[in-house]
Structure 1
Amino acid sequence: MGSIKIFADSTCDLPPEWIEEYRIGIVPLYVTFSENTYKDGVDLNTPELYRKVSETGRPPKTAAPSPADFIQAFTPFVEEGQQILYISLSTELSSTYQNALIAAEEFPEGQVTVFDSLNLSTGIGLQVMKAVHAASEGQSVPEIVKLLHKVRPQVETEFVIDSLDYLYKGGRCSGMQNLVGSLLKIRPVIKVIDGKMTPAYKIRGSREKALDQLLSNALSHLPEMDNDIIFVTHSLANEDAVHLKQALEAKTQARIVVTSNAGCVISSHCGAKTIGILYTKKIG
């Protein structure tokens, strides 16, 4: 049996140094401003994204990679005799998974396996790292997929959106909701449940209060954490991310707490200063 190549897409938001160290394949999604289309993380980074939003007054549209994109990405490794395991952005949020399945059909049976993370951002990244470590231990693709089926429902993804502006610009809330939210300093908290972005509750008041609540929510699950990786993922909120990282390092037994930057696709939907804590619970 050949070696296993783990793939994800650009929405996994893993640190670039991890992608390089563990040789994780990345297939970028697309962001489009008017007639100009960019590959997430390749042609456009998050600070550049926000500059373009300021210039145009609206966030970009986002799009999944095509089946041809996946075929192009997978082919060199298949030709080397490697098996591909691609862990995708949630099917509830994108056609990325379906397009990867179409691509997989162009290769010999069993050569390319596609797994739906039912998550986003480092909620995908957590599953990718589980797969990477399992592969390094010599597990087969079917064994890794079996593991991922157990890990997937244990991933906790919760983040605070700093402003309703991007939800409004993206058509996800009304102008009145945006106005009232801004006046009352309301920050929605989003959780990923069954692959969907689900409003969990709203925090009214200062950003500090919102961050304290985010941290408190994570720490309330301390006995259930698997003590492996905790991600603090953010969109241009590095100072707050470092603060949360230090608090989690002090109050959990996690092997590692890592800050990571949200890419262009995630940032397009959530906006600047969005920040989340993501981790996995123990497998029962």
Structure 2
Amino acid sequence: MTKIILSADSTCDLGDELKAKYQVHYYPFHIILGDKQYQDNVDITPEEIFQAYWERKILPKTAAIGVGEYLDYFRKWVENGYQVIHLNLGSGISSAYQNCCMAARELGNVFPINSGNLSSAIGLLVVEAGKRISQGMPAPQIQKEIQELTAKCHGSFVLDTLEFLHAGGRCSAVAALGANLLRLKPCIEVNNRDATMRVGKKYRGDLDKVLVQYTRDKLMNRDDLNLDRCFLVNAGISKERLNLVKKTIEECADFEHIYITKASCTISCHCGPNTLGVMFLTK
């Protein structure tokens, strides 16, 4: 039986426990801050990115993984007789999937999956791929089933401020100023076909109350939830607020596992601190 390697872009925000359990390999996105280039969550952290913005008013640029990098990354496994399942950041916000597909066509035995999502919503799909590998399912079937599962993978998050989106050129100054003056905290909804994003409900007021209401809006009174697990992903949220949202999730749905994960630098540099998202699958 051909052994299968499970891999993902660093933006999957899976967490150390599940990364180890399913033996997931990461390839890091590029973070360019000032005149230096870093590897996402390898030699730079979200906290350092936030600090650079507060102190120097600079934000990093992010760069996708190139075709040549994927070729070098996968080749060591393919040449040793392995097959590789690799999950990419959604194609609507990154060229990583297209680059991965080109590398896969050249090498063979690499099976890219367009997650159609970002952050720990990708992590949900990585776990599902890991379960299928452990069951002995062949790589082409895993690729097909996980690609189909993306339509049932739901990602969203609430922003405390639009300052980082504005600084990164993804939001107008007027919109950012208006939202901050009105204390608006928008919910960003991820389209699970390609990971493009749109503004959903706009919450107002104290962040604690907003996070509770957002969580209830996403999970309350749903009869289609896959209750195996959900992810509570954050960028710079306090433990107290994480516990508050975890308790709210438990009140809304009886998930077997609730994993608290930290957003990668690629995600954090666009959303800023005090960002939180609830990611889950439906049946």
Same fold (TM over 0.5): yes
CA offsets per residue over residues 224-264 of structure 1, 9 Å max, x none?
Answer: 10111100000011422222123323442212001000010
SS of 1:202 mapped into structure 2 = strand
Contact 1:234–1:274 (8 Å) recurs in 2: yes
Alignment of 1:95-106 (within 5 A): 95-106=95-106
**Partner of 1:244 in structure 2?**
245
In structure 2, how many angstroms separate the alpha carbons of the residues matched to 1:140 and 1:217? 38
Distance 1:238 1:124 in 2: 23
Asked if structure 2 preserves the Cα contact closer than 8 Å seen for 1:233 and 1:275, the reply is yes
CA positional deviation for 1:173: 1.6
The percent of aligned pairs where both chains have the same amino acid is 32
For 1:3-42, list aligned pairs within 5 A.
3-42=3-42
- The superposition leaves residues 80-135 of structure 1 with CA deviations (integer Å, 9 ceiling, x where unpaired) of 3110011100000001111111221331x3x1011100100011111111000011
Distance 1:200 1:76 in 2: 43
Alpha-carbon distance in 2 for matches of 1:2, 1:242: 43
> CA 1:176–1:251 in structure 2 vs 1: closer, same or farther (change >3 Å)?
closer
Partner of 2:112: helix, strand, or coil?
Answer: strand
In structure 1, C-alpha distance between the alignment counterparts of 2:182 and 2:20, rounded to whole Å: 43
Q: Which runs of 5+ in 2 are unaligned?
A: none
Residue number in structure 1 paired with 2:177: 179
Please state how far the C-alpha of 1:222 moved relative to its aligned partner: 3.1
Superposition TM-score, scaled by structure 1 size: 0.94
Moved more, 53-62 or 272-281: 53-62
Indicate the larger mover: 266-275 or 45-54.
45-54
Q: Deviations over 1:112-167 (max 9, x none)?
A: 01110010001111111100001101111122122213311111112101101011
* 2:175 counterpart letter in structure 1: Q
**Which AA in structure 2 matches 1:192?**
V
- Partner AA of 2:250 in structure 1: E
Which amino acid in the other structure matches residue 60 of structure 1?
P
Give 1:200's aligned residue.
Answer: 200
**1:59 and 2:24 are equivalent in the alignment:** no
- CA–CA distance in 2 between the matches of 1:221 and 1:30? 40
Distance in structure 2 (CA, Å) of the matches to 1:162 and 1:44: 23
Deviation digits for residues 12-48 of structure 1 (CA, Å, limit 9, x no counterpart): 0110232123211101001111221100011111112
Asked if 2 retains the 8 angstrom alpha-carbon contact of 1:245 and 1:258, the reply is no
CA distance, structure 1, for counterparts of residue 167 and residue 215 of structure 2: 28
SS at match of 1:257: strand
1:1-284 equivalence runs, <5 A = 1-107=1-107, 109=108, 111-193=109-191, 194=193, 195-220=195-220, 222-239=222-239, 240-282=241-283
Contact 1:11/1:29 (8 A) holds in 2: yes
What is the CA–CA distance in structure 2 between the aligned matches of 1:54 and 1:131, rounded to whole Å? 39
CA contact (8 A) 1:233 1:241 kept: no
Tell me the matched-pair count.
280
User: Structure 2: how far apart are the matches of 1:253 and 1:186?
Assistant: 30
Mapped partners of 1:80, 1:255: distance in 2:
38
* Alignment partners' CA distance in 2, 1:244 and 1:88: 28
Shift of residue 79, structure 1, vs aligned partner: 2.6
In structure 1, stretches of 5+ residues that fail to align are none
Ranges of 4+ aligned residues in structure 1 off by more than 4 Å: none
Check the 8 A contact 2:34/2:58 in 1, yes or no. no
Alpha-carbon deviation of 1:180?
1.6
Within 2, Cα distance between the matches of 1:40 and 1:98? 20
Deviation of residue 63 (structure 1)? 0.5
What's the TM-score once normalised by structure 2's chain length?
Answer: 0.94
8 Å contact from structure 1 (residues 97, 114) kept in 2 = yes
Q: Distance in 2 between matches of 1:186 and 1:62?
A: 27
